[in-house]
């Protein structure tokens, strides 16, 4: 008997021009708004104008780069000092994750490290976080509908999560018009993150009929839209499809697991200041290849091989495509998007043992369709660093 559960934000609002509707939800949730955004107010400006016109008090917090535990501590302190009762995050995945942390710790007693996995106590969130509206301006992580926040611990050189079903944003508002200004490289990196999440969630062992349907639709949209969005940032249809693919990736990963790409990319992101999506792109074809070979050579109960074939058929637009043609398609796509190799991102052979050791403790690795041995993980990294052919 098939059994599964599915959880997501209380309300998902999707469509071009719908940012203006955010103010009606914010005013219904609170009066003092903690606005989390990126390096500048540029992308948040339309939301800030709406807040000013509505006469709401707000405090703005800027996330300068990928979020760290130190940044999170500062954000929480400022939100508490301002006595904010609602949080609005508008930006990329890092911004949206920071908003989740702020919302959770506005209502839960204790400190950040009480709730962090791996480097903290990993205690459960027990109180409903402050109301949170998540508004993405990129199309990659799907963080507007996920239940965790990823933070870098510089002290431990690793990325860790604060995780709870209670951390799902109250409102996820996706307005594709907010993604039009993404430059080509950001479009490529975030898009490859979305594509990777869809692929990994689809072949993950905990997948279910609902996540399967979401992943198939997301793969179809990303398969033909990512290159178009990269080549023409004003392509309305491509931008809408990538925003949808990103949302679907977030919905899927929040209700299943990911795999070895994210299992490796997590510790690597804690070691170097490399864009997460670029890391995913550099690893994806080699992880797919290692998984397919392991599935072919081991006696295990899994339908992941058939799923890799389905991925190839969707991406290649051919009903007879095999799994290896799917890998070749990813190679070609990465070339078209000019995504960098892992060595170009600053990693060397000397980093491999540390990456492999840390990756084996990653929660994402537990979702991989087959257990990859340390030597297989090392070979993936060597190929990604162009040390092997």
Phi, psi dihedrals of residue 174, rounded to the nearest 5°: -115, 110
Mean pLDDT of 344-358: 94
3, part of any domain: no
83, part of any domain: yes
Residue 160 shares a structural domain with residue 191: no
- Give the 3-state secondary structure of residue 34: strand
Residue 63 shares a structural domain with residue 41: yes
The pLDDT score that the predictor gives to residue 65 is: 79
Rounded to 10 degrees, the C-alpha dihedral 5/7/10/16 comes to -120
- pLDDT tier, 258 (very low <50, low <70, confident <90, very high otherwise): very high
345, part of any domain: yes
Residue 374 shares a structural domain with residue 344: yes
Last residue of a domain, one of 115, 150, 179: 179
389, part of any domain: no
Residue 204 shares a structural domain with residue 280: yes
2, part of any domain: no
Last residue of a domain, one of 179, 209, 227: 179
Residue 276 shares a structural domain with residue 169: no
Q: Are 342 and 324 in contact (CB under 8 A)?
A: no
CATH at 321: 1.20.1090.10
Residue 155 shares a structural domain with residue 220: no
1, part of any domain: no
Host domain of residue 317: 184-384
221, part of any domain: yes
Domain count along the chain: 2
Per-residue CA distances from 139 to 5, 75, 183, 296, 327 (Å): 25, 24, 12, 34, 22
Per residue in 68-110, pLDDT (tens digit) is 888 989 999 999 999 999 999 999 999 999 999 999 999 998 8
Classify 142 in phi/psi space as left (phi over 0), alpha (psi -120 to 50) or beta.
Answer: left
Residue 326 shares a structural domain with residue 206: yes
Residue 157 shares a structural domain with residue 226: no
341, part of any domain: yes
Residue 96 shares a structural domain with residue 210: no
Report the b/e string of 93-123 with b at 16+ CB within 10 A. bbbbbbbbbbbbbbebeeebbbbbebebeee
Q: Are 129 and 104 in contact (CB under 8 A)?
A: yes
Residue 94 shares a structural domain with residue 188: no
Last residue of a domain, one of 179, 195, 216: 179
Q: Please say if the pLDDT value at position 389 is more than 60.
A: no
Mean pLDDT of 127-134: 96
The pLDDT score that the predictor gives to residue 205 is: 84
CATH at 51: 3.40.50.1970
Classify 346 in phi/psi space as left (phi over 0), alpha (psi -120 to 50) or beta.
Answer: left
Residue 175 shares a structural domain with residue 192: no
Classify 289 in phi/psi space as left (phi over 0), alpha (psi -120 to 50) or beta.
Answer: alpha
- pTM, rounded to two decimals: 0.93
Q: Please say if the pLDDT value at position 388 is more than 70.
A: no
Residue 250 shares a structural domain with residue 131: no
Dist. CA 301–CA 289, nearest whole Å? 19
Per residue in 28-39, pLDDT (tens digit) is 999 999 999 998
Whole-number average pLDDT of the chain:
92
């Amino acid at each position: 008997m098939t059994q599964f559960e599915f959880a997501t934000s209380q309300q998902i609002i999707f469509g071009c021009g719908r940012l203006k509707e955010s103010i009606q939800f914010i005013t219904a949730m609170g009066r003092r708004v903690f606005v989390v955004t990126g390096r500048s107010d540029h992308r948040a400006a339309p939301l800030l104008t709406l807040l000013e016109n509505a006469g709401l008090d707000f405090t703005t917090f800027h996330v300068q780069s990928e979020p760290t535990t130190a940044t999170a501590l500062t954000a929480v302190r400022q939100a508490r000092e301002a006595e904010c009762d609602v949080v609005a995050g508008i930006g990329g995945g890092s911004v949206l994750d920071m908003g989740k942390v702020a919302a959770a710790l506005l209502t839960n007693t204790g400190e950040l490290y009480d709730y962090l996995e791996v480097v903290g106590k990993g205690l459960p969130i027990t109180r409903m976080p402050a109301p949170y509206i998540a508004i993405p301006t990129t199309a990659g992580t799907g963080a507007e509908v996920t239940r965790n926040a990823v933070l870098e611990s510089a002290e431990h050189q690793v990325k860790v999560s604060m995780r709870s079903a209670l951390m799902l944003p109250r409102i996820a508002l996706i307005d594709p018009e907010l993604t039009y200004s993404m430059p080509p490289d950001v479009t490529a990196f975030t898009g490859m993150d979305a594509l990777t999440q869809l692929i990994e969630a689809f072949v993950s062992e905990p997948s279910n009929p609902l996540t399967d349907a979401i992943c198939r639709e997301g793969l179809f949209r990303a398969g033909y839209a990512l290159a178009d969005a990269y080549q023409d940032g004003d392509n309305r249809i491509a931008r809408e499809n990538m925003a949808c693919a990103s949302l679907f990736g977030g919905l899927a990963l929040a209700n299943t697991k990911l795999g070895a790409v994210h299992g490796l990319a997590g510790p690597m992101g804690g070691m170097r200041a490399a864009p997460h999506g670029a890391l995913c792109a550099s690893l994806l074809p080699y992880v797919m290849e290692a998984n397919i070979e392991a599935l072919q050579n081991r006696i295990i109960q899994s339908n992941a091989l058939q799923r890799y074939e389905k991925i190839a058929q969707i991406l290649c637009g051919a009903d007879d495509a095999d799994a290896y043609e799917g890998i070749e398609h990813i190679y070609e796509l990465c070339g078209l998007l000019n995504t960098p190799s892992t060595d170009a991102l600053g990693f060397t052979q000397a980093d491999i043992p540390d990456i492999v050791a840390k990756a084996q403790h990653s929660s994402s690795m537990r979702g991989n369709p087959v257990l990859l041995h340390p030597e297989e993980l090392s070979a993936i990294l060597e190929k990604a660093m162009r040390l092997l052919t």
